[in-house]
């Protein structure tokens, strides 16, 4: 989970144009004026590319903070693993 969070922090910094951003599990759109619906979708697209996964539309809109997003990514990565 630490590796996922580190990659997410890089993504959030790039999308939100804030190199000093420190991502926590509680980080949410409420923490940034610049975070609107377009920013939310942009974060998801970057996460999909970075982790090689795809989200459903309900997954895109369903998470409320960075911790939930990291858990979602972790679940999706487990689903990709060969049996």
Tokens describing residue 21: 């951003």
- Domain, as residue range, for 59: 2-80
pTM value is: 0.88
Determine the Cα–Cα distance for residues 49 and 83; give it in Å rounded to an integer: 23
Q: Are 55 and 71 in contact (CB under 8 A)?
A: no
User: Could you tell me the CATH number of the domain that includes residue 18?
Assistant: 1.10.1200.10
Residue 80's pLDDT band, with cuts at 50, 70 and 90, is confident
The structural domain count of the chain equals 1
pLDDT of residue 75 exceeding 70, the answer is yes
pLDDT tens digits along 17-60:
999 999 999 999 899 888 899 999 999 999 999 999 999 999 88
Q: Are 12 and 66 in contact (CB under 8 A)?
A: yes
pLDDT at residue number 83: 59
């Amino acid at each position: 989970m630490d590796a996922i969070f580190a990659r997410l922090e890089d993504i959030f910094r790039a999308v939100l144009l804030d190199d000093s951003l420190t991502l926590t599990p509680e980080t949410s759109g409420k923490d940034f004026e610049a975070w609107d619906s377009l920013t939310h979708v942009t974060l998801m697209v970057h996460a999909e590319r970075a982790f090689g996964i795809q989200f459903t539309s309900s997954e895109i809109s369903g998470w409320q903070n960075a911790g939930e997003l990291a858990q979602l990514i972790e679940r999706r990565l487990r689903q990709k693993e060969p049996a």
